[in-house]
Chain A
Amino acid sequence: MTDAHTAGPFIAAIDQGTTSSRCIVFDRDGRIVSVDQKEHEQIFPKPSWVEHDAAEIWTNVQEVVASAVEKAGITAEDVKAIGITNQRETTLLWDKNTGEPVHNALVWQDTRTDALCRELGRNVGQDRFRRETGLPLASYFAGPKARWLLDNVEGLRERADRGEILFGTMDSWVIWNLTGGPDGGVHVTDVTNASRTMLMNLHTLEWDEKICESIGVPMSMLPEIRSSSEVYGTAAVGVLAGVPVASALGDQQAALFGQTCFAEGEAKSTYGTGTFLLMNTGEKAVNSYNGLLTTVGYRIGDQKAVYALEGSIAVTGSLVQWMRDQMGIIKSAAEIETLASSVDDNGGAYFVPAFSGLFAPYWRDDARGVIAGLTRYVTKAHLARAVLEATAWQTREIVDAMSKDSGVELAAVKVDGGMTSNNLLMQTIADFVDAPVVRPMVAETTCLGAAYAAGLAVGFWPDTDALRANWRRAAEWTPRMDADKRDREYKNWLKAVERTMGWIEEEN
């Protein structure tokens, strides 16, 4: 480090993610001082079951915190607060007295609760709890995962009834251990993580007694729901012992916060393996009639909660990986841009990667992937272009759904994630959405969001305006496509989407 930013104080953010745990130390300008990261094992006991060893995760979290603090050359005294962000919905039950998990954590991607969710829908279907929770009954969410554990781990329901078991998403697990575990650890979650359980009422921000009963999760094992930005307790173990633990946010909400989308209508889109768009809808929870989720964006201390609409695209970066690993058309992910740039357009080809059905706004699990419009003229370069366009069109579809639901036109899309290094993709998104695409200077918006929320709670930053002042534009792509061409292309895309539907015939 050659410049002045090693002069503290600092905030440490822990990101307990799906494939790894990371710790990043930030300075007051929001610049990264040091990073450490460690991957954990992905456990696949059966096809489409995914588990994590929560004890391994806690060990890794302690290691990356110690290492990041050491790399920064600082001590606990220099760190004003710890912020937490985490993979959302991943569910763990553990013994309150020993601190031992009763089973591996069930990861958000795990679909073992599919049948349970259908059963819970009764005669109403997947929207049975949507009005209260903002969510459809789908296998991602935590409540049904907890019920599955209670039903399938021997003797667990009895132990839960005796009050020996605690439930939590990964934020709760990390905070409980960090603040002392069996010796006085605080059992809390934040509103954003709680909003992904299907057990919290979005409007009261409290556990919903009726829904907990319907899903079959005893309320006695649930953590206390707190805001996203307040001091929950003090770290009791590790190199940061004595430092306040002062924020928790689900990863996508943390990115919204890190991108400083504090005003109604501001939205961010994170382009990774999949893509998540979140739009701030202010103090009202907006019901979606266009296939989006309603969720809590964040809540700062005693202030009112801020809500968000969320849309996700299942296959974006993973489509590029598929072109590389399964098709062998490119050697590295970055090469997709080189290949796509070698032609001026898609040559008439459209690629709808509905590999496991269509997500927002369609929600069709009978759909499968299609490449439409093939002629002898089409080359692999046209397909590469169609791959990038698929991500851009799906972004457009979600942005359209958000405008319809919220009545707010998107002024700009703030982007982050690995795919933002793809210049052609970013330009294509600007062209298709017909709005500027803006990349901020700190790519690590998830950790930054957790750091920001923690820093606000302890007065390290005075208010959200100070955080906005830290935000720096690194690049901006402005729309350059003429409207007629965009409309024509969009129509073709929608025709291709139509051709994916109904491929899987009804089983039974």
Chain B
Amino acid sequence: MPGPIQSLARAAAILRLLAGGERRLGLSDISSSLGLAKGTAHGILRTLQQEGFVEQDAASGKYQLGAELLRLGNSYLDVHELRARALVWTDDLARSSGEAVYLGVLHQSGVLIVHHVFRPDDSRQVLEVGAMQPLHSSALGKVLAAYDPVAHSEAAENERLALTPRTITDTAGFEDVLELARTRGWASDLEETWEGVASVAAPILDRRRMPVGAVGITGAVERVCQEDGDIQARLVAAVRDCARAVSRDLGAGRF
């Protein structure tokens, strides 16, 4: 096993120094406290600054801890925050698509539904918040497995049950489906989870473009699909618009 990497150890020492007592320190304070040559300390600080771990005050030239460190500590997005941000957009998706909207996140080895908007037709419907959907066959699950490495290993390593005759269960076929989802930016479920039901979903990304969930619509295959059996293009567009709008609200750049 190789020994510790000197520059990383020095970078850690600088971060600890900046985290202690006085918040802002100049280059000479830092180099003298740690017994480093000014040039060495400056090189490390510049790298830390590029990564966002350290910020330099424009006026005084002094250094302080950067915002990226805070984000590292708080990277977990609360699902209720996600629902609050998604509320307006998912309502609009239900209205424009005429179908029920679901928002899901990875939970253990499945998709946990954290938000559900009824199909806007005044029929009797039951709120499905808290329900689970399968990771390998639902549109939400495929999107998560395609974009989130943790979801991918859950889906790849667990048994993929044949829920309908159309469920894709073999490894190569499943990986092809995920590859297609990544290429297109969305995934579908054509009677692969429930007979007669089709879904389409797209990923929600946060400001670091990490997948935090998926949003999609679900409805009768006769309404959701066109003649050739594929999902209607206007529904795909509506779902992707919604996913982009929620992602933008979470701080993701345009994509």
Contact = CB atoms under 8 A, between A and B. Distances in A.
Contacts of B74: 331
B80 A442 contact: no
B238 A338 contact: no
B79 A338 contact: yes
B127 A476 contact: yes
A3 interface: yes
A438 to B, nearest CB: 10
A441 B79 CA distance: 21
A337 interface: yes
A29 B94 CA distance: 13
Given A443-B91, A472-B95, A473-B122, A334 B80 contact: yes
Interface size class of B (residues with CB under 8 A): 20 to 34
B81 A475 contact: no
Given A334-B80, A421-B83, A422-B80, A473 B118 contact: yes
A477 interface: yes
B91 A474 contact: yes
Contacts of A423: 80, 83, 115, 129
A474 B118 contact: yes
Given A31-B95, A472-B95, A475-B117, A421 B237 contact: no
Interface in B70-105: 74, 78-81, 83-84, 87-88, 91-92, 94-96
B118 A334 contact: no
Nearest to B86: A421
Interface string A387-418: 00000000000000000000000000000001
Interface string A464-486: 00000000111111000000000
B87 to A, nearest CB: 5
A442 B84 contact: no
A31 B117 contact: no
A498 B117 CA distance: 39
B116 A475 contact: yes
Given A2-B237, A421-B87, A335 B78 contact: yes
Nearest to A426: B127
Contacts of A477: 127
Contacts of A332: 78, 81
A334 B116 contact: no
A5 B97 CA distance: 12
A76 interface: no
B241 interface: yes
Given A442-B91, A475-B116, A476-B127, A421 B96 contact: no
Nearest to A330: B78
A29 B95 contact: yes
A120 interface: no
A32 interface: yes
B117 A441 contact: yes
Contacts of B91: 441-443, 474
A474 B117 contact: yes
B125 interface: yes
A7 B47 CA distance: 53
A473 B126 CA distance: 11
B120 interface: yes
B67 to A, nearest CB: 15
B204 to A, nearest CB: 15
Most central of B81, B115, B116 by chain A CB within 10 Å: B81
Contacts of A418: 84
B81 A334 contact: yes
A228 to B, nearest CB: 26
A32 B81 CA distance: 23
B88 A443 contact: yes
Given A31-B95, A334-B78, A338-B78, A2 B120 contact: no
Given A443-B87, A443-B91, A472-B95, A335 B80 contact: yes
B234 interface: yes
Contacts of B118: 472-476
Nearest to A332: B81
B92 A474 contact: no
B95 A441 contact: yes
A422 to B, nearest CB: 7
A441 B78 contact: no
Contacts of A476: 118, 125, 127
Interface string A429-447: 0000000000001110000
B104 to A, nearest CB: 14
B112 to A, nearest CB: 12
A2 B238 contact: yes
A379 B96 CA distance: 44
A336 B94 CA distance: 27
A449 to B, nearest CB: 17
Nearest to B82: A334
B95 A2 contact: no
B202 to A, nearest CB: 14
B122 A472 contact: yes
Contact of B96 (A3, A335, A422): A3
B243 to A, nearest CB: 13
Nearest to A418: B84
Contacts of B87: 420-421, 443
Nearest to A477: B127
A466 B127 CA distance: 27
Interface string B47-77: 0000000000000000000000000001000
A105 to B, nearest CB: 30
Interface in B11-42: none
Nearest to B114: A423
Interface string B204-224: 000000000000000000000
A441 B120 contact: yes
A2 B80 contact: no
Contacts of B234: 2-3
Nearest to A4: B96
Contacts of A422: 80
Nearest to A442: B91
A407 B118 CA distance: 32
A422 B114 CA distance: 11
B125 to A, nearest CB: 7
A478 to B, nearest CB: 8
Contact of A32 (B92, B116, B117, B122): B92
Pairs of residues from A and B, 6 with the lowest C-beta to C-beta distance, nearest first: A334-B80, A334-B81, A472-B120, A421-B84, A337-B80, A334-B84
Given A5-B96, A334-B83, A335-B78, 10 more contacts: A29-B95, A31-B92, A334-B81, A338-B79, A421-B84, A441-B91, A441-B94, A441-B117, A472-B118, A475-B116
Interface of B: 74, 78-81, 83-84, 87-88, 91-92, 94-96, 115-118, 120, 122, 125, 127, 129, 234, 237-238, 241
11 contacts: A2-B241, A31-B95, A333-B84, A423-B80, A423-B115, A441-B91, A443-B87, A443-B91, A472-B94, A474-B91, A476-B118
